[in-house]
Amino acid sequence: MNDRAIKIFLTLFILLSSAAWIYNYACTSILVTKGASKNGATIISYSCDGEFHPILEMLPAADHKPGEMFQLESWSGRKLLIPQVAHTYKVVGLMNEYQLAIGETTFDGRLNLVNSEGYFDYYPLMRIALQRAKTAREAIKVMTSLVEEYGYCSTGESFSIADKEEAWIMEMIGMGPGNKGAVWVAVKVPDGYVSVHANMSRIHEFPLNDPENCIYSKNVISFSEKMGYYDSKRGKPFSFSDAYNPATEEQVRYSLRRVWSVLRRIAPSQNFSPDYSSFVKGATPYPLFVKPDSKLDVQDVIALHRDHYEGTEFDMTKNLSSGPFGAPDRWRPIKWDVDGKKYAWERPIATQQSAFVFVSESRADVPDEIGGVYWYGLDNPYTSVFVPLYTSITELPKSYTVGTLRKYSRDSAWWVFNFVANYANLRWSYMIKDIQKVQKEIESAEFGRQKYLEETVMKMAKDNKGMVSPYLTKYCVDNAEGTVQKWRDLGDFLITRYNDGYIQDEKGNPHEIGYPVPWLKKELKESGDRFKLGQERNGNGEL
Protein backbone atom coordinates (compact mmCIF):
# COMPACT_ATOMS: atom_id res chain seq x y z
CA MET A 1 0.00 0.00 0.00
CA ASN A 2 1.53 3.33 -1.07
CA ASP A 3 1.53 6.51 1.05
CA ARG A 4 -1.54 7.95 -0.66
CA ALA A 5 -3.52 4.73 -0.15
CA ILE A 6 -2.47 4.67 3.50
CA LYS A 7 -3.73 8.24 4.00
CA ILE A 8 -7.05 7.43 2.30
CA PHE A 9 -7.43 4.29 4.39
CA LEU A 10 -6.71 6.07 7.65
CA THR A 11 -8.97 9.02 6.83
CA LEU A 12 -11.92 6.75 6.13
CA PHE A 13 -11.13 4.56 9.12
CA ILE A 14 -11.01 7.51 11.51
CA LEU A 15 -14.16 9.01 10.00
CA LEU A 16 -16.21 5.85 10.35
CA SER A 17 -14.75 4.88 13.69
CA SER A 18 -15.37 8.24 15.32
CA ALA A 19 -18.86 8.40 13.84
CA ALA A 20 -19.78 5.00 15.25
CA TRP A 21 -18.26 5.85 18.63
CA ILE A 22 -19.70 9.33 19.08
CA TYR A 23 -23.10 9.08 17.45
CA ASN A 24 -26.05 6.83 18.01
CA TYR A 25 -24.79 3.92 15.92
CA ALA A 26 -27.18 1.14 14.95
CA CYS A 27 -26.84 -1.32 12.13
CA THR A 28 -28.77 -4.22 10.63
CA SER A 29 -27.30 -7.18 8.74
CA ILE A 30 -29.01 -10.02 6.88
CA LEU A 31 -27.30 -13.21 5.66
CA VAL A 32 -28.73 -15.39 2.88
CA THR A 33 -27.04 -18.69 2.00
CA LYS A 34 -26.79 -20.19 -1.49
CA GLY A 35 -29.60 -22.64 -0.86
CA ALA A 36 -31.88 -19.85 0.34
CA SER A 37 -31.31 -17.57 -2.67
CA LYS A 38 -33.13 -17.68 -5.98
CA ASN A 39 -30.02 -17.72 -8.15
CA GLY A 40 -27.65 -19.67 -5.89
CA ALA A 41 -25.83 -16.54 -4.75
CA THR A 42 -24.61 -15.90 -1.24
CA ILE A 43 -26.02 -12.57 -0.12
CA ILE A 44 -25.28 -10.40 2.89
CA SER A 45 -26.41 -6.88 3.71
CA TYR A 46 -25.13 -4.14 5.99
CA SER A 47 -26.93 -0.98 6.99
CA CYS A 48 -24.20 1.27 8.36
CA ASP A 49 -26.16 3.70 10.50
CA GLY A 50 -24.71 6.81 12.07
CA GLU A 51 -24.70 10.55 11.58
CA PHE A 52 -21.79 10.87 9.18
CA HIS A 53 -21.16 11.41 5.48
CA PRO A 54 -19.85 8.19 3.90
CA ILE A 55 -17.11 8.22 1.30
CA LEU A 56 -17.10 5.25 -1.05
CA GLU A 57 -13.58 3.93 -1.53
CA MET A 58 -11.72 1.47 -3.74
CA LEU A 59 -8.39 -0.03 -2.70
CA PRO A 60 -6.45 -1.44 -5.67
CA ALA A 61 -4.69 -4.77 -5.59
CA ALA A 62 -0.98 -4.34 -4.92
CA ASP A 63 2.29 -6.20 -4.53
CA HIS A 64 4.49 -5.34 -1.56
CA LYS A 65 8.20 -5.68 -0.95
CA PRO A 66 9.61 -7.79 1.89
CA GLY A 67 9.71 -5.76 5.08
CA GLU A 68 7.17 -3.20 3.84
CA MET A 69 4.98 -1.78 6.64
CA PHE A 70 1.78 0.20 6.88
CA GLN A 71 0.54 2.40 9.70
CA LEU A 72 -2.56 1.73 11.73
CA GLU A 73 -4.08 4.28 14.12
CA SER A 74 -6.52 3.29 16.87
CA TRP A 75 -9.54 5.27 18.06
CA SER A 76 -7.46 6.60 20.93
CA GLY A 77 -4.82 7.88 18.50
CA ARG A 78 -2.28 5.15 19.16
CA LYS A 79 -0.21 4.38 16.07
CA LEU A 80 1.32 1.11 15.05
CA LEU A 81 3.38 -0.10 12.10
CA ILE A 82 2.21 -3.52 10.88
CA PRO A 83 4.05 -5.76 8.39
CA GLN A 84 2.42 -5.83 4.99
CA VAL A 85 1.71 -9.12 3.20
CA ALA A 86 3.26 -9.88 -0.18
CA HIS A 87 0.03 -9.16 -2.08
CA THR A 88 -3.21 -7.40 -1.15
CA TYR A 89 -6.47 -7.85 -3.03
CA LYS A 90 -8.63 -5.20 -4.61
CA VAL A 91 -11.54 -3.93 -2.49
CA VAL A 92 -14.62 -1.99 -3.58
CA GLY A 93 -16.44 -0.68 -0.53
CA LEU A 94 -16.61 -3.76 1.69
CA MET A 95 -16.34 -6.44 -0.99
CA ASN A 96 -13.19 -7.73 -2.66
CA GLU A 97 -12.25 -9.04 -6.09
CA TYR A 98 -12.81 -12.65 -4.98
CA GLN A 99 -16.42 -11.87 -4.01
CA LEU A 100 -15.72 -11.91 -0.27
CA ALA A 101 -17.89 -9.39 1.61
CA ILE A 102 -18.02 -8.36 5.27
CA GLY A 103 -20.57 -6.36 7.28
CA GLU A 104 -21.20 -5.81 10.98
CA THR A 105 -23.44 -4.61 13.78
CA THR A 106 -22.19 -3.43 17.18
CA PHE A 107 -23.72 -4.92 20.33
CA ASP A 108 -21.56 -3.23 22.99
CA GLY A 109 -21.96 -6.01 25.58
CA ARG A 110 -19.99 -5.71 28.80
CA LEU A 111 -18.29 -2.32 28.57
CA ASN A 112 -15.68 -3.27 31.15
CA LEU A 113 -14.22 -5.55 28.46
CA VAL A 114 -13.24 -2.63 26.23
CA ASN A 115 -9.46 -2.41 26.00
CA SER A 116 -8.43 1.11 24.99
CA GLU A 117 -4.84 -0.12 24.72
CA GLY A 118 -5.71 -2.39 21.79
CA TYR A 119 -4.95 -1.27 18.26
CA PHE A 120 -7.70 -2.89 16.20
CA ASP A 121 -11.34 -1.92 16.13
CA TYR A 122 -13.90 -3.59 13.90
CA TYR A 123 -13.56 -1.43 10.80
CA PRO A 124 -9.86 -1.91 9.94
CA LEU A 125 -10.30 -5.58 10.81
CA MET A 126 -12.91 -5.83 8.08
CA ARG A 127 -10.91 -3.88 5.52
CA ILE A 128 -7.61 -5.67 6.11
CA ALA A 129 -9.37 -9.07 6.01
CA LEU A 130 -10.82 -8.10 2.62
CA GLN A 131 -7.33 -7.23 1.40
CA ARG A 132 -5.82 -10.50 2.62
CA ALA A 133 -8.49 -13.20 2.35
CA LYS A 134 -10.31 -14.94 -0.49
CA THR A 135 -12.84 -16.88 1.60
CA ALA A 136 -14.92 -16.36 4.72
CA ARG A 137 -12.86 -18.89 6.66
CA GLU A 138 -9.65 -17.11 5.68
CA ALA A 139 -11.16 -13.78 6.73
CA ILE A 140 -12.04 -15.16 10.16
CA LYS A 141 -8.46 -16.36 10.56
CA VAL A 142 -7.04 -12.99 9.50
CA MET A 143 -9.28 -11.02 11.84
CA THR A 144 -8.80 -13.19 14.90
CA SER A 145 -5.03 -13.42 14.35
CA LEU A 146 -4.72 -9.62 14.17
CA VAL A 147 -6.56 -9.00 17.43
CA GLU A 148 -4.61 -11.79 19.09
CA GLU A 149 -1.31 -10.17 18.11
CA TYR A 150 -2.11 -6.46 18.34
CA GLY A 151 -5.14 -6.19 20.62
CA TYR A 152 -8.81 -5.34 20.14
CA CYS A 153 -10.26 -1.98 21.20
CA SER A 154 -13.92 -2.14 20.11
CA THR A 155 -16.96 -3.08 22.15
CA GLY A 156 -18.87 -6.24 21.22
CA GLU A 157 -19.32 -6.87 17.50
CA SER A 158 -21.28 -9.21 15.24
CA PHE A 159 -19.75 -9.73 11.79
CA SER A 160 -21.43 -11.04 8.64
CA ILE A 161 -18.82 -12.71 6.45
CA ALA A 162 -19.68 -14.28 3.11
CA ASP A 163 -17.89 -15.71 0.11
CA LYS A 164 -19.18 -17.53 -2.98
CA GLU A 165 -19.98 -20.68 -1.01
CA GLU A 166 -20.59 -19.87 2.65
CA ALA A 167 -21.99 -17.27 5.04
CA TRP A 168 -20.72 -16.96 8.61
CA ILE A 169 -21.63 -14.98 11.71
CA MET A 170 -18.70 -14.17 13.98
CA GLU A 171 -19.14 -12.44 17.32
CA MET A 172 -16.24 -10.87 19.16
CA ILE A 173 -15.62 -8.87 22.30
CA GLY A 174 -12.48 -7.70 24.09
CA MET A 175 -11.06 -8.91 27.38
CA GLY A 176 -10.64 -5.59 29.18
CA PRO A 177 -7.60 -3.43 30.00
CA GLY A 178 -4.36 -5.35 30.16
CA ASN A 179 -5.66 -8.26 28.07
CA LYS A 180 -4.52 -7.95 24.48
CA GLY A 181 -6.70 -10.44 22.62
CA ALA A 182 -10.43 -11.09 22.35
CA VAL A 183 -12.99 -13.83 22.90
CA TRP A 184 -14.99 -14.85 19.86
CA VAL A 185 -17.09 -17.49 18.17
CA ALA A 186 -17.90 -17.98 14.48
CA VAL A 187 -20.83 -20.07 13.25
CA LYS A 188 -21.61 -21.04 9.66
CA VAL A 189 -25.18 -20.38 8.54
CA PRO A 190 -26.58 -23.74 7.35
CA ASP A 191 -27.21 -23.85 3.63
CA GLY A 192 -30.84 -23.07 2.80
CA TYR A 193 -31.20 -20.77 5.79
CA VAL A 194 -31.21 -17.05 6.52
CA SER A 195 -29.93 -15.18 9.56
CA VAL A 196 -30.09 -11.60 10.83
CA HIS A 197 -28.44 -9.55 13.56
CA ALA A 198 -29.03 -5.99 14.71
CA ASN A 199 -26.91 -4.58 17.56
CA MET A 200 -27.34 -7.50 19.93
CA SER A 201 -25.40 -10.73 20.19
CA ARG A 202 -27.31 -13.54 18.46
CA ILE A 203 -25.12 -16.58 19.15
CA HIS A 204 -26.27 -18.46 22.24
CA GLU A 205 -25.32 -22.15 22.47
CA PHE A 206 -22.92 -23.41 19.81
CA PRO A 207 -21.30 -26.78 18.98
CA LEU A 208 -17.97 -27.34 20.68
CA ASN A 209 -16.81 -30.23 18.48
CA ASP A 210 -17.84 -29.31 14.95
CA PRO A 211 -14.98 -27.31 13.37
CA GLU A 212 -16.58 -27.57 9.94
CA ASN A 213 -19.49 -25.41 11.13
CA CYS A 214 -18.23 -23.63 14.25
CA ILE A 215 -14.87 -22.27 15.38
CA TYR A 216 -14.10 -20.24 18.49
CA SER A 217 -11.31 -18.85 20.65
CA LYS A 218 -9.85 -21.35 23.08
CA ASN A 219 -10.67 -19.04 25.99
CA VAL A 220 -14.26 -18.18 25.10
CA ILE A 221 -15.71 -20.23 27.97
CA SER A 222 -12.83 -20.18 30.46
CA PHE A 223 -12.60 -16.38 30.36
CA SER A 224 -16.31 -16.02 31.09
CA GLU A 225 -15.91 -18.34 34.09
CA LYS A 226 -12.93 -16.34 35.29
CA MET A 227 -14.99 -13.14 35.07
CA GLY A 228 -18.02 -14.67 36.75
CA TYR A 229 -20.26 -14.49 33.69
CA TYR A 230 -20.81 -18.25 33.53
CA ASP A 231 -20.71 -21.10 36.03
CA SER A 232 -20.32 -24.52 34.43
CA LYS A 233 -21.17 -26.19 37.76
CA ARG A 234 -24.79 -25.15 37.32
CA GLY A 235 -25.10 -27.56 34.42
CA LYS A 236 -26.47 -25.09 31.89
CA PRO A 237 -24.96 -25.02 28.38
CA PHE A 238 -22.70 -22.08 27.68
CA SER A 239 -24.28 -19.18 25.82
CA PHE A 240 -21.99 -16.57 24.26
CA SER A 241 -24.80 -14.01 24.23
CA ASP A 242 -25.84 -14.55 27.84
CA ALA A 243 -22.23 -14.37 29.01
CA TYR A 244 -20.99 -11.37 27.05
CA ASN A 245 -24.15 -9.46 26.13
CA PRO A 246 -26.77 -10.13 28.83
CA ALA A 247 -30.20 -8.95 27.69
CA THR A 248 -31.84 -5.78 28.95
CA GLU A 249 -35.31 -4.51 28.06
CA GLU A 250 -33.87 -1.45 26.37
CA GLN A 251 -31.53 -3.42 24.12
CA VAL A 252 -34.03 -6.17 23.31
CA ARG A 253 -36.65 -3.69 22.13
CA TYR A 254 -34.07 -1.66 20.26
CA SER A 255 -32.42 -4.61 18.52
CA LEU A 256 -34.56 -7.71 18.42
CA ARG A 257 -37.62 -5.88 17.14
CA ARG A 258 -35.72 -5.55 13.87
CA VAL A 259 -34.71 -9.21 13.94
CA TRP A 260 -38.35 -10.18 14.51
CA SER A 261 -39.51 -8.04 11.62
CA VAL A 262 -37.11 -9.69 9.17
CA LEU A 263 -38.09 -13.16 10.37
CA ARG A 264 -41.84 -12.47 10.21
CA ARG A 265 -41.46 -11.32 6.62
CA ILE A 266 -39.25 -14.14 5.28
CA ALA A 267 -41.08 -16.95 7.12
CA PRO A 268 -44.67 -15.84 7.82
CA SER A 269 -45.73 -19.50 8.10
CA GLN A 270 -43.78 -19.76 11.36
CA ASN A 271 -45.85 -17.02 13.03
CA PHE A 272 -43.00 -15.49 15.00
CA SER A 273 -44.41 -13.63 17.97
CA PRO A 274 -43.22 -10.11 18.75
CA ASP A 275 -43.31 -10.95 22.47
CA TYR A 276 -39.61 -11.72 22.80
CA SER A 277 -38.74 -8.42 21.11
CA SER A 278 -41.02 -6.71 23.65
CA PHE A 279 -39.11 -8.31 26.55
CA VAL A 280 -42.15 -10.34 27.63
CA LYS A 281 -41.21 -12.72 30.43
CA GLY A 282 -41.11 -16.35 29.32
CA ALA A 283 -41.31 -15.51 25.60
CA THR A 284 -39.48 -17.81 23.18
CA PRO A 285 -36.18 -16.41 21.81
CA TYR A 286 -35.78 -16.15 18.06
CA PRO A 287 -33.65 -18.81 16.33
CA LEU A 288 -30.30 -17.83 14.91
CA PHE A 289 -31.18 -19.45 11.58
CA VAL A 290 -34.52 -19.58 9.78
CA LYS A 291 -35.56 -21.41 6.62
CA PRO A 292 -37.47 -18.88 4.52
CA ASP A 293 -40.88 -19.76 3.07
CA SER A 294 -39.60 -18.70 -0.36
CA LYS A 295 -36.10 -18.17 -1.69
CA LEU A 296 -34.77 -14.61 -1.72
CA ASP A 297 -32.84 -12.46 -4.15
CA VAL A 298 -31.08 -9.11 -3.88
CA GLN A 299 -34.31 -7.19 -4.46
CA ASP A 300 -35.99 -9.07 -1.64
CA VAL A 301 -33.14 -8.23 0.75
CA ILE A 302 -33.32 -4.56 -0.27
CA ALA A 303 -37.05 -4.65 0.45
CA LEU A 304 -36.36 -6.06 3.93
CA HIS A 305 -34.24 -2.99 4.64
CA ARG A 306 -37.21 -0.77 3.75
CA ASP A 307 -39.16 -1.57 6.88
CA HIS A 308 -40.92 0.55 9.52
CA TYR A 309 -43.03 -2.35 10.82
CA GLU A 310 -45.79 -1.42 8.38
CA GLY A 311 -48.92 -3.50 8.89
CA THR A 312 -48.03 -4.53 12.46
CA GLU A 313 -48.96 -3.15 15.86
CA PHE A 314 -45.63 -1.26 15.80
CA ASP A 315 -46.33 0.49 12.47
CA MET A 316 -44.45 3.78 12.69
CA THR A 317 -46.69 5.53 10.15
CA LYS A 318 -49.87 5.19 12.20
CA ASN A 319 -49.53 6.89 15.58
CA LEU A 320 -49.56 10.48 16.80
CA SER A 321 -45.79 10.83 16.57
CA SER A 322 -45.96 10.19 12.81
CA GLY A 323 -47.72 13.54 12.39
CA PRO A 324 -50.66 14.26 10.11
CA PHE A 325 -49.03 12.64 7.07
CA GLY A 326 -47.73 9.39 8.55
CA ALA A 327 -43.99 10.11 8.55
CA PRO A 328 -42.09 7.14 10.08
CA ASP A 329 -38.93 8.98 11.16
CA ARG A 330 -38.46 9.68 14.85
CA TRP A 331 -36.14 12.50 15.83
CA ARG A 332 -33.37 11.73 18.26
CA PRO A 333 -32.84 11.11 21.10
CA ILE A 334 -34.48 7.74 20.77
CA LYS A 335 -34.81 7.60 24.59
CA TRP A 336 -36.62 10.39 26.41
CA ASP A 337 -38.15 11.30 29.79
CA VAL A 338 -41.53 12.80 30.67
CA ASP A 339 -42.49 13.53 34.26
CA GLY A 340 -39.66 11.37 35.54
CA LYS A 341 -40.65 8.31 33.49
CA LYS A 342 -38.46 6.82 30.77
CA TYR A 343 -39.64 6.04 27.25
CA ALA A 344 -38.13 5.00 23.91
CA TRP A 345 -39.25 5.29 20.31
CA GLU A 346 -39.34 2.18 18.16
CA ARG A 347 -36.13 1.67 16.19
CA PRO A 348 -36.96 0.48 12.64
CA ILE A 349 -34.72 -1.18 10.07
CA ALA A 350 -35.07 1.78 7.69
CA THR A 351 -33.89 4.92 9.42
CA GLN A 352 -32.90 8.46 8.56
CA GLN A 353 -29.63 7.76 10.40
CA SER A 354 -28.43 5.34 7.70
CA ALA A 355 -25.22 6.57 6.11
CA PHE A 356 -25.11 3.76 3.56
CA VAL A 357 -26.47 0.28 2.97
CA PHE A 358 -24.93 -2.45 0.85
CA VAL A 359 -26.29 -5.77 -0.36
CA SER A 360 -23.53 -8.01 -1.72
CA GLU A 361 -24.10 -10.74 -4.27
CA SER A 362 -21.44 -13.51 -4.52
CA ARG A 363 -21.88 -16.19 -7.18
CA ALA A 364 -19.78 -19.32 -7.59
CA ASP A 365 -21.05 -20.10 -11.08
CA VAL A 366 -19.92 -16.76 -12.53
CA PRO A 367 -16.29 -15.61 -12.98
CA ASP A 368 -15.08 -13.29 -10.24
CA GLU A 369 -14.84 -10.35 -12.64
CA ILE A 370 -18.60 -10.56 -13.16
CA GLY A 371 -19.88 -12.55 -10.19
CA GLY A 372 -19.29 -10.10 -7.36
CA VAL A 373 -21.83 -7.27 -7.29
CA TYR A 374 -21.89 -4.64 -4.56
CA TRP A 375 -25.37 -3.09 -4.55
CA TYR A 376 -24.88 0.24 -2.82
CA GLY A 377 -27.39 2.73 -1.48
CA LEU A 378 -26.84 6.02 0.33
CA ASP A 379 -28.80 7.51 3.24
CA ASN A 380 -32.21 6.11 4.23
CA PRO A 381 -32.82 2.94 2.17
CA TYR A 382 -36.55 3.63 2.14
CA THR A 383 -36.12 6.81 0.11
CA SER A 384 -32.97 6.08 -1.90
CA VAL A 385 -31.84 3.85 -4.78
CA PHE A 386 -29.34 0.99 -4.87
CA VAL A 387 -26.83 0.96 -7.72
CA PRO A 388 -24.70 -2.03 -8.85
CA LEU A 389 -20.92 -1.85 -8.57
CA TYR A 390 -19.07 -4.86 -9.97
CA THR A 391 -15.86 -5.59 -8.08
CA SER A 392 -13.80 -5.58 -11.29
CA ILE A 393 -14.44 -1.88 -11.98
CA THR A 394 -11.44 0.44 -11.97
CA GLU A 395 -13.22 3.73 -11.26
CA LEU A 396 -15.92 4.87 -8.84
CA PRO A 397 -18.75 7.33 -9.56
CA LYS A 398 -17.31 10.65 -8.40
CA SER A 399 -20.44 11.89 -6.64
CA TYR A 400 -20.18 8.90 -4.27
CA THR A 401 -16.61 9.81 -3.29
CA VAL A 402 -17.02 13.48 -2.32
CA GLY A 403 -18.78 15.53 0.32
CA THR A 404 -18.80 16.37 3.99
CA LEU A 405 -21.45 16.47 6.69
CA ARG A 406 -20.50 20.07 7.39
CA LYS A 407 -21.68 21.49 4.05
CA TYR A 408 -24.59 20.67 1.76
CA SER A 409 -23.54 20.04 -1.83
CA ARG A 410 -25.45 18.83 -4.89
CA ASP A 411 -22.15 17.35 -6.08
CA SER A 412 -22.39 14.78 -3.26
CA ALA A 413 -24.65 11.80 -3.97
CA TRP A 414 -25.26 11.37 -0.23
CA TRP A 415 -26.56 14.93 0.09
CA VAL A 416 -28.79 14.47 -2.97
CA PHE A 417 -30.46 11.42 -1.44
CA ASN A 418 -30.47 12.96 2.03
CA PHE A 419 -32.28 16.07 0.80
CA VAL A 420 -35.14 14.09 -0.74
CA ALA A 421 -35.46 11.96 2.41
CA ASN A 422 -35.66 15.02 4.65
CA TYR A 423 -38.01 17.01 2.42
CA ALA A 424 -40.42 14.07 2.28
CA ASN A 425 -41.12 14.46 6.00
CA LEU A 426 -43.12 17.62 5.27
CA ARG A 427 -45.92 15.65 3.59
CA TRP A 428 -44.83 12.02 3.72
CA SER A 429 -47.99 10.19 2.65
CA TYR A 430 -48.06 12.19 -0.58
CA MET A 431 -44.38 12.57 -1.43
CA ILE A 432 -43.43 8.97 -0.75
CA LYS A 433 -45.61 7.91 -3.68
CA ASP A 434 -43.67 10.21 -6.01
CA ILE A 435 -40.38 8.95 -4.57
CA GLN A 436 -41.29 5.28 -4.87
CA LYS A 437 -42.40 5.76 -8.45
CA VAL A 438 -38.95 6.98 -9.51
CA GLN A 439 -37.23 4.49 -7.21
CA LYS A 440 -39.11 1.59 -8.80
CA GLU A 441 -38.40 2.84 -12.33
CA ILE A 442 -34.64 3.03 -11.70
CA GLU A 443 -34.20 -0.22 -9.79
CA SER A 444 -36.51 -2.21 -12.07
CA ALA A 445 -34.42 -1.06 -15.04
CA GLU A 446 -31.15 -1.96 -13.25
CA PHE A 447 -32.26 -5.47 -12.34
CA GLY A 448 -33.93 -5.91 -15.71
CA ARG A 449 -30.65 -5.09 -17.47
CA GLN A 450 -28.48 -7.30 -15.30
CA LYS A 451 -29.07 -10.56 -17.15
CA TYR A 452 -28.52 -9.02 -20.58
CA LEU A 453 -25.52 -7.04 -19.35
CA GLU A 454 -23.83 -10.10 -17.91
CA GLU A 455 -24.56 -12.25 -20.96
CA THR A 456 -22.88 -9.58 -23.06
CA VAL A 457 -19.88 -9.40 -20.75
CA MET A 458 -19.55 -13.20 -20.59
CA LYS A 459 -19.34 -13.34 -24.38
CA MET A 460 -16.87 -10.46 -24.31
CA ALA A 461 -14.70 -12.31 -21.80
CA LYS A 462 -14.28 -15.23 -24.19
CA ASP A 463 -13.01 -13.02 -27.02
CA ASN A 464 -11.17 -10.29 -25.11
CA LYS A 465 -11.07 -10.60 -21.33
CA GLY A 466 -9.28 -7.26 -21.07
CA MET A 467 -12.43 -5.47 -22.19
CA VAL A 468 -14.57 -6.73 -19.28
CA SER A 469 -13.34 -4.31 -16.65
CA PRO A 470 -13.54 -1.15 -18.79
CA TYR A 471 -17.00 -2.12 -20.03
CA LEU A 472 -18.37 -2.75 -16.52
CA THR A 473 -16.65 0.36 -15.18
CA LYS A 474 -18.34 2.58 -17.73
CA TYR A 475 -21.71 0.94 -17.11
CA CYS A 476 -21.51 1.24 -13.31
CA VAL A 477 -20.23 4.82 -13.30
CA ASP A 478 -22.72 6.03 -15.93
CA ASN A 479 -25.62 4.27 -14.22
CA ALA A 480 -24.76 5.61 -10.77
CA GLU A 481 -24.21 9.20 -11.92
CA GLY A 482 -27.38 9.02 -14.01
CA THR A 483 -29.28 7.84 -10.95
CA VAL A 484 -27.98 10.74 -8.88
CA GLN A 485 -29.05 13.19 -11.58
CA LYS A 486 -32.54 11.67 -11.60
CA TRP A 487 -32.65 12.14 -7.84
CA ARG A 488 -31.60 15.78 -8.18
CA ASP A 489 -34.45 16.20 -10.64
CA LEU A 490 -36.80 14.44 -8.23
CA GLY A 491 -35.79 16.82 -5.44
CA ASP A 492 -36.48 19.82 -7.69
CA PHE A 493 -39.86 18.33 -8.62
CA LEU A 494 -40.84 17.82 -4.96
CA ILE A 495 -39.92 21.40 -4.05
CA THR A 496 -42.02 22.67 -6.92
CA ARG A 497 -45.03 20.45 -6.42
CA TYR A 498 -45.20 20.66 -2.62
CA ASN A 499 -44.79 24.35 -1.92
CA ASP A 500 -46.16 26.47 0.95
CA GLY A 501 -48.55 23.72 1.99
CA TYR A 502 -50.17 23.49 -1.44
CA ILE A 503 -49.92 20.63 -3.92
CA GLN A 504 -49.59 21.55 -7.57
CA ASP A 505 -51.40 19.57 -10.22
CA GLU A 506 -49.91 18.66 -13.60
CA LYS A 507 -50.76 22.11 -14.95
CA GLY A 508 -48.99 23.84 -12.07
CA ASN A 509 -52.18 24.93 -10.31
CA PRO A 510 -51.97 24.89 -6.49
CA HIS A 511 -54.58 22.99 -4.48
CA GLU A 512 -55.48 23.22 -0.80
CA ILE A 513 -55.32 19.63 0.41
CA GLY A 514 -55.28 20.30 4.14
CA TYR A 515 -54.99 17.65 6.83
CA PRO A 516 -56.41 14.10 6.92
CA VAL A 517 -59.73 13.82 8.78
CA PRO A 518 -58.39 11.30 11.37
CA TRP A 519 -55.68 13.80 12.29
CA LEU A 520 -58.21 16.64 12.51
CA LYS A 521 -60.31 14.56 14.89
CA LYS A 522 -57.25 14.06 17.11
CA GLU A 523 -56.66 17.81 17.04
CA LEU A 524 -60.27 18.56 18.00
CA LYS A 525 -60.10 16.05 20.83
CA GLU A 526 -57.08 17.92 22.19
CA SER A 527 -58.30 21.50 21.56
CA GLY A 528 -62.03 21.12 22.13
CA ASP A 529 -64.15 23.74 20.36
CA ARG A 530 -61.41 26.34 20.04
CA PHE A 531 -61.49 26.15 16.23
CA LYS A 532 -65.26 25.73 15.90
CA LEU A 533 -67.11 28.39 13.89
CA GLY A 534 -70.59 29.80 14.50
CA GLN A 535 -70.29 30.19 18.27
CA GLU A 536 -71.01 33.34 20.30
CA ARG A 537 -68.07 34.73 22.27
CA ASN A 538 -67.92 37.33 25.01
CA GLY A 539 -65.81 40.48 24.99
CA ASN A 540 -62.76 38.47 26.08
CA GLY A 541 -63.11 36.11 23.12
CA GLU A 542 -64.34 33.28 25.32
CA LEU A 543 -67.19 30.95 24.33
User: Residue 362: helix, strand or coil by DSSP?
Assistant: strand
pTM: predicted TM-score of the whole model, two decimal places: 0.93
In this prediction, residue 437 carries a pLDDT of 98
* Residue 344 lies inside a defined structural domain of this protein: no
The pLDDT of residue 106 is above 50 = yes
Same-domain status, 43 and 155: yes
Give every CB contact of residue 451 below 8 A, 6+ residues apart in sequence.
none
* Residue 339 lies inside a defined structural domain of this protein: no
Same-domain status, 188 and 278: yes
User: Residue 429: helix, strand or coil by DSSP?
Assistant: helix
* Residue 23 lies inside a defined structural domain of this protein: yes
Same-domain status, 127 and 270: yes
Dihedral of CA atoms 402, 404, 408, 413 in degrees, nearest 10, equals 40
| Span 439-479, pLDDT tens digits | 999 999 999 999 999 999 999 988 888 899 999 999 999 99
Same-domain status, 162 and 281: yes
Tell me which of 327-331, 415-419, 530-534 is least confident. Answer: 530-534
* Residue 509 lies inside a defined structural domain of this protein: no
Total tally of structural domains belonging to the chain: 2
Same-domain status, 288 and 407: no
Same-domain status, 160 and 255: yes
In this prediction, residue 25 carries a pLDDT of 60
| Span 267-291, pLDDT tens digits | 999 999 999 999 999 999 999 999 9
Distance CA 156, CA 184 (A): 10
Same-domain status, 390 and 276: no
Distances from the Cα of 357 to the Cα of 27, 188, 299, 433, angstroms: 9, 23, 13, 22
* Residue 529 lies inside a defined structural domain of this protein: no
CB-CB contact of 287 with 392 (8 Å): no
* Residue 64 lies inside a defined structural domain of this protein: yes
Position 24 confidence tier, pLDDT thresholds 50, 70, 90: very low
Position 538 confidence tier, pLDDT thresholds 50, 70, 90: low
Q: Output 7-14 pairs: Cβ under 8 A, ≥24 positions apart.
A: 8/57, 8/59, 9/57, 9/59, 9/70, 9/124, 9/127, 10/71, 10/72, 10/73, 12/55, 12/57, 13/73, 13/123, 13/124, 13/127, 14/73
* Residue 341 lies inside a defined structural domain of this protein: no
Same-domain status, 265 and 386: no
Same-domain status, 370 and 302: no
Distance CA 225, CA 227 (A): 5
| Span 478-516, pLDDT tens digits | 999 999 999 999 999 999 999 999 999 999 999 999 999
Share of the chain above pLDDT 90, in %: 87
Same-domain status, 159 and 265: yes
The pLDDT of residue 121 is above 80 = yes
Q: For Cα atoms 6, 10, 15, give the angle at the middle one, nearest 5 degrees.
A: 155
| Span 68-80, pLDDT tens digits | 999 988 777 788 8
Point out which residues pair with 32 in neighbouring strands: 43, 194
Range of the domain at 154: 3-307+349-355
* Residue 334 lies inside a defined structural domain of this protein: no
Average per-residue pLDDT in the chain? Answer: 93
The DSSP output letter for 412 is -
Minimal CA–CA distance to 29: which of 160, 172, 189, 127?
Answer: 160
Position 301 confidence tier, pLDDT thresholds 50, 70, 90: very high
3-state secondary structure 200-235: CCCCCCCCCCCCCCEEECCCCCHHHHHHCCCCHHHC
